[in-house]
Structure 1
């Protein structure tokens, strides 16, 4: 589970960088709608990167339970699919990525469900 703690920490670092980039470098360069999409990407990125760290720590308490580790990897997938697609959608006209965003949301939902089930 050490890998999830390290990965979650690196994803948090990236989330902070993306937030700073959006607040400073992109300020005034995108529409209000696109800015909101970007901010949503950062918010979910931060929340779920912290979740990955917590899951890594929980994994030490429940080492025999594969659901906890699977939850961590679902969160990683969720960040890539959900936040990643929203970052691209807010910066580019890549409409093809729109259907990918809900897959990331489903990854988050499944990950949190596995955390709950794994702890039970």
Structure 2
């Protein structure tokens, strides 16, 4: 999985950081919701990027970059708005959701690696 493994780990780190900031560093309820939602969706998909390394085939190879694109677009736009960016960033969020969905579809069409005895 190479670079995707590292990038997913960095993504997980960011998810924990933004989730903690939502819980302890910001008081606006809407901003907390955006930060928390971005963290939850992002963290789940970073774990999925790790799991994709257990599969083989083209679908499994496509899943991690799609999940990471989803993190940047979906979670990133929510985090940006939670940190005070214009609400227009919300127009990017659905593109990230589509990237997440495409990653799941790619995984669905991949095949498992053969088990080593």
* Short-chain TM bin: 0.7 to 0.9
SS class of match (2:40): helix
**2:89 is the alignment partner of 1:100:** no
TM-score by length of 2: 0.86
Q: Which residue of 1 aligns with 2:71?
A: 79
Q: Which residue of 2 aligns with 1:43?
A: 40
Which has a greater percent of helix? Answer: 1
Q: Cα offset for 1:102?
A: 0.2
Q: Which residue of 1 aligns with 2:83?
A: 91
Specify every segment of 5 or more residues in structure 2 that has no aligned partner in the other structure, as ranges. 113-117
Q: Which residue of 2 aligns with 1:57?
A: 54
Q: Aligned pair count?
A: 112
Measure the CA separation in 1 of the matches of 2:15 and 2:82. Answer: 15
Cα deviations by residue, 1:10-65 (Å, 9 ceiling, x for unpaired) = 21122112212222222x2x1x222212211110111011111111232xxx1xx2
Q: Which residue of 1 aligns with 2:115?
A: none
Measure the CA separation in 1 of the matches of 2:17 and 2:35. Answer: 13
Contact 2:22 2:31 in 1 (8 A): no
Cα deviations by residue, 1:59-84 (Å, 9 ceiling, x for unpaired) = xxx1xx22211111000000000000
The alpha-carbon distance between structure 1 residues 57 and 6, as it changes in their structure 2 partners (threshold 3 A), is: farther
Q: Which residue of 1 aligns with 2:18?
A: 18
Contact 1:85 1:98 in 2 (8 A): yes
TM-score by length of 1: 0.84
Q: Cα offset for 1:94?
A: 1.1
Specify every segment of 5 or more residues in structure 1 that has no aligned partner in the other structure, as ranges. none
Aligned-residue CA RMSD in angstroms?
Answer: 1.5
